[in-house]
Structure 1
Amino acid sequence: MTSIDIRENLSLFDDAFSIHRQIPEFQIDSTTYDQLIERINNVKHPLILVAYINNQPVGYLMGYERYSSFYIWIAGVLPNHRRHGIFDQLINRTEQWAIKEKYNSLTIKTRNSFKSMLLFLISHDFKLIDIDKRQSVNTHRLILEKQLINSQNLSSN
């Protein structure tokens, strides 16, 4: 089994963007380097994780605080590295980080057309909480949330 190295640092943006440019699902929007870096540099409590195999970036996740939850803004794994547990490790690391940072939930938005992402999220205890309707059903944004278990939650019960 290949070892996956997950690194956390805002300085990994260029590696994350290099992966982003290779994700077929993200080519439908023409988000530029400048647009992405401006956003991640102007949010509260940003996080960038990059997954490496043999020192090559193969997956990433970027997020930030939004409405007192930790929002997974954008994430992906290169197509030829999917179904090898990389995204699972990115999500697990994000959960651990969010719990340590005292967040009570993770939120994420996906499109109705991204069936494999939706199935992944549901299988990892994310629940559908809202729909942002767009022009076509396939482009509707599905908003999902996962409640986190942390010691702060446990002591308030």
Structure 2
Amino acid sequence: MDVVRSICLDVFGEFDQLKIENRLGGKKLFLQVAYDQEIPVGFKLGYALENEVFYSWIGGVAPDYQDLGVATLFIKRQHEWCLQNGFKSIQTKSMNQFPRMISLNLNSGFKITGTEVGADEEVKILFEKSLES
């Protein structure tokens, strides 16, 4: 979890370990970490919502390593892992302040399925991608 903490602080300026532990407890997880030599430069973390539905939750790439295809590779590997593990769809959320993530989701085959207002009053855009052919 130290790697996730380090990158979250670098990318988002915050890290809430208790929130992460509460969210992930007892769930089937998939965590990817990218390194430059021995330095962690990005991560992508998700978990099973249901037997056939995976939730791509949080991730980030250090500013100096953005625009190098790291996030695209994370999504590709995550989708491959989900297929190999019997998931039929992937859900995720984003917000207007993350236009690059919105674009990446759309370019990766996600469809916008709606919006919701979170506890923090932020509007979240809901995405889903079917993994079935």
Relative to the length of structure 2, the TM-score reads 0.88
- Checking the alignment, whether the CA contact within 8 Å between 2:34 and 2:41 is kept in structure 1 is yes
| Structure 2 gap ranges (5+) | none
Q: Number of paired residues?
A: 132
Alignment match, 1:145: 128
The alpha-carbon distance between structure 1 residues 18 and 135, as it changes in their structure 2 partners (threshold 3 A), is closer
Question: Counterpart of 2:78 in 1: which secondary structure?
Answer: helix
- Checking the alignment, whether the CA contact within 8 Å between 2:55 and 2:90 is kept in structure 1 is yes
- 2:67 pairs, out of 70, 80, 83, with 83
Alignment-mate amino acid for residue 102 of structure 1:
G
Higher alpha-carbon Rg = 1
Aligned positions of 1:9-20 closer than 5 A? 13-20=1-8
Q: What is the RMSD computed on CA atoms of the aligned residues? A: 2.1
Show structure 1 runs of 4+ deviating over 2 A. Answer: 37-40, 133-137
Aligned positions of 1:101-112 closer than 5 A? 101-112=85-96
| Structure 1 gap ranges (5+) | 1-12
Alignment match, 2:23: 39
Question: Counterpart of 2:102 in 1: which secondary structure?
Answer: helix
**CA offset at residue 14 of structure 1?**
1.6
Relative to the length of structure 1, the TM-score reads 0.76
**CA offset at residue 48 of structure 1?**
1.2
The percent identity for this pair of structures is: 27
Alignment match, 1:71: 55
Alignment match, 1:56: 39
Alignment partners' CA distance in 1, 2:128 and 2:6? 27
